[in-house]
Amino acid sequence: MTEGFNIQRDEKTDSRHNLTWHMMEINRQKREKQMQQKAFTIWMSGLSGAGKSTIANALEKRLYAMGKKTMLLDGDNVRMGLNSNLGFSDEDRVENIRRIAEVAKLMNDAGLIVITAFISPYRHDRENAKQIIGDGFREVYVSTSIEECEKRDVKGLYKAAREGKIAQFTGITSPYEIPEHADVVVDTAEMDVETCVNHILEQLKSLLRESV
């Protein structure tokens, strides 16, 4: 028995009905004040090869240079760790996005500005992510066309999908539902990376300048 505690466990201990949210004295507002920034999430969505990771990396570098405290969550990187047990079925994609949204929310609670780069092809999942994260959710649609993405085909994924070697590939055998009310839209076929980053920062400047 741990000194000072009398802990009794039974079969009900692990039930969700017995969970209690503990309010902590050091909250998000205090962490934001310490970091001197408003925490929020920049949620980048778009086809494979659209340029999400490239823009996200450049955006984080700019924010870092501005003295902002950030964390970048990239689709491939997260699937190699936290979500390594998930595949690409519809159900697994839903769970993939749900987990990322929960992680982003925790990082926002820590006072960080979070940048995510995920295909997140379904509107319902993006809306669910917005509900989880809350008012700090900002959607950036990287609108690069499938023709341009397939022309690049950096990872050879479109070719493999066309040959039937990859099932459930977004844009080929699985749909991508275009955001209807994105906060920011950029197209890497028409804008270079620096221009995309400048545009995103301009659109989000009120959040970046908000005092805490």
User: Which residues are identified as catalytic?
Assistant: 120
Residues 6+ apart with CB under 8 A from 56: 42, 44, 72, 74, 115, 116, 117
50 assigned binding-site residue: yes
Q: Residue 201's closest CA among 188, 186, 181?
A: 186
Whether residue 128 contacts residue 104, with contact meaning beta carbons closer than 8 Å, is answered with no
CA atoms within 13 A on the CB side of 22: 3
Q: Give the gyration radius of the chain's Cα atoms.
A: 20
174 assigned binding-site residue: no
11 by DSSP, 3-state: which? Answer: coil
Sign of CA dihedral 125, 126, 129, 130: negative
Query: Within its chain, how far is the Cα of 183 from the centroid?
Result: 14
51 assigned binding-site residue: yes
Calculate the alpha carbon distances from 11 to 2, 8, 48, 64, 89 in Å.
Answer: 20, 10, 45, 48, 33
75 assigned binding-site residue: no
81 assigned binding-site residue: no
- Lookup: tokens for 23: 């309010």
In eight-state DSSP terms, residue 179 is -
Tell me the binding residues.
46-53
Q: Per the annotation, where are the binding residues for ATP?
A: 46-53
